[in-house]
Amino acid sequence: MPHNEAISALVSENTYRVWRIDLAGCAHAFAQNWVSLYQVLTCKAGNQEALNPTPWSRAYMYA
């Protein structure tokens, strides 16, 4: 991985190792179709622009 050293410099060796194991387990579970991931955004009814400034998509991140 290209950022191993930068990431491991931010946390303890134990935390870094736990993160790696957790991410490896997640990657394996996704590859086996054992888990799914859903993101749900809810807000109060009414004037959506005033109550919820969150965009409907993440297209702004890729512009």
Burial 18-54 (b: 16+ CB within 10 A, else e): eeeeeeeeeeeeeeeeeeeeeeeeeeeeeeeeeeeee
Which one of the listed residues 11, 18, 26, 27 is annotated catalytic?
26
Q: What's the pLDDT at 57?
A: 81
pLDDT band, very low/low/confident/very high, at 1 (cuts 50, 70, 90): low
Structural domain count, the chain:
1
What is each CA distance from 34 to 22, 47, 48, 49, in whole angstroms? 15, 39, 35, 37
Q: Which domain holds residue 25?
A: 4-62
Q: What's the pLDDT at 3?
A: 85
State yes or no: is 43 an active-site residue.
no
Which has the closest alpha carbon to 1: 18, 20, 15, 29? 20
Q: What's the pLDDT at 26?
A: 92
pTM flag (> 0.85):
no
Q: In this predicted model, what pLDDT tens digit does every residue of 20-61 receive, in sequence order?
A: 999 999 999 999 999 988 888 777 676 656 666 777 788 888
